[in-house]
């Protein structure tokens, strides 16, 4: 199984993960005009958490995330559907993109961005669900094996 907790990995993960997450955010937000976008950002983000998990184990990763990875998927789908509605409410076909400019800080806000955030969350959630679940299963199996061996040791001692 994958054992968490080697020193180099721990330190590296602590330094790299925030950078990776910031990079993911950066890719997500600039995606409409420059290379990037929700899908790529989701993969980078998943990579960041995967690295953290290798260093600190799945339980710590779950604590860090605060939310269940499956909820991330749900929220992503919800946002994607939500982004389809404004166009519809304004009398245009479903999913027609709407663009707004926030006046004071001059930021472009649009339904494609919301949609992209949805994609980001779904990708992030899906990959992490697979990675974390696999690792947890691995760990559980290893623990069972250990327990069995311990049991065998005891009978041996007797």
Partner 1 sequence: MQIAVLTGFVLAALAPLLHRLFGERTGLVLALYPAAVVVWLVQFLPAVMEGETFLFTQAWAPGLGLSLSFMLDGLSMLFALMISGIGTLIMIYASGYLHGHPEQARFYVLILTFMSSMLGLVLADSLITLYIFWELTSITSYLLIGFDHNDADARKSALQGLLVTFSGGLALMSGLIMLNIAGGSWSLQELLTDGEALREHALFVPMLLCLLGGAFTKSAQIPFHFWLPNAMAAPTPVSAYLHSATMVKAGIYLMARLHPALGETFLWTAILSIAGASTMFLGMVMAIRFTAIKKVLAYSTIMALGMLTMLLGIGTKEAIIACMTFMLAHSLYKGALFMVAGILDHETGTKDIAEMGGLRRVMPVTAACAGVAALSLGGVIPLLGFIGKEEMFKAVLHAPDFKNFMLVLSLGTSILVVAVAAIVALRPFFGELKPTPETPHEAPLSMLGGPLVLASLSLLLGLMPSLAGQGVLEAAVSAVMGESVSLHLALWHGINAPLLMSAASLIIGLAIYWGWDRVRAALGRLEPLFSHGPEWAYGRLMDGLVWLAETQTRLLQNGYIRSYLVMTLLTFIGLTGYTLLFRYSPDFSFDIDVALHEAGIVLLMCAGAVSACITRSRLAAVVAAGVMGFCISLIFILFSAPDLGITQLLVETLTAILMILVLFRLPRFSRLSTSFERARDFVVAVATGGLITLLLLMATNVSLFPSISGYMIENSQPLGQGLNIVNVILVDIRALDTMGEIFVLALAAIGAFAMLKLRPKELQDG
**Could you list the residues that contact partner 1 (CB under 8 A)?**
1-2, 31-40, 43-44, 46-47, 50, 70, 73-74, 76-77, 80-81, 84, 88, 91-95, 97, 99, 108, 110, 112-113, 115-116, 118-119, 122-123, 125-127, 129-131, 133-135, 137-138, 141, 144
Closer residue to partner 1 in complex, CB, 10/84: 84
Residue 99 has what DSSP assignment? E
Closer residue to partner 1 in complex, CB, 93/156: 93
H/E stretch holding 107 reads strand 107-110
Closer residue to partner 1 in complex, CB, 94/156: 94
Structure-block tokens of residue 147: 């327990």
Are 65 and 78 a contacting pair, CB within 8 Å? no
Q: How far is the CB of 18 from partner 1 (least distance, A)?
A: 18
CA dihedral 143, 148, 153, 154 (to 10 degrees): 110
Nearest to 45 by CA among 74, 67, 65, 20: 20
Closer residue to partner 1 in complex, CB, 33/156: 33
């Amino acid at each position: 199984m994958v054992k968490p907790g080697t020193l180099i990995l721990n330190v590296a993960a602590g330094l790299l993960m925030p950078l990776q997450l910031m990079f993911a955010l950066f890719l997500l937000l600039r995606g409409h005009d420059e290379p990037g976008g929700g899908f790529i950002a989701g993969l980078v983000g998943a990579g960041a958490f995967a690295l953290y998990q290798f260093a600190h184990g799945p339980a710590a990763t779950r604590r860090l995330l605060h939310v269940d990875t499956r909820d991330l998927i749900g929220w992503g789908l919800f946002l994607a559907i939500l982004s389809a509605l404004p166009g519809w409410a304004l009398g245009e076909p479903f999913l027609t993109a709407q663009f707004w400019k926030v006046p004071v800080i001059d930021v472009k806000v649009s339904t494609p961005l919301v949609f992209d955030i949805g994609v980001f969350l779904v990708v992030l959630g899906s990959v992490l669900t697979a990675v974390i679940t696999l690792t947890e299963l691995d760990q559980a199996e290893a623990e069972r094996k250990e327990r069995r061996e311990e049991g065998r040791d005891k009978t041996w001692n007797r």
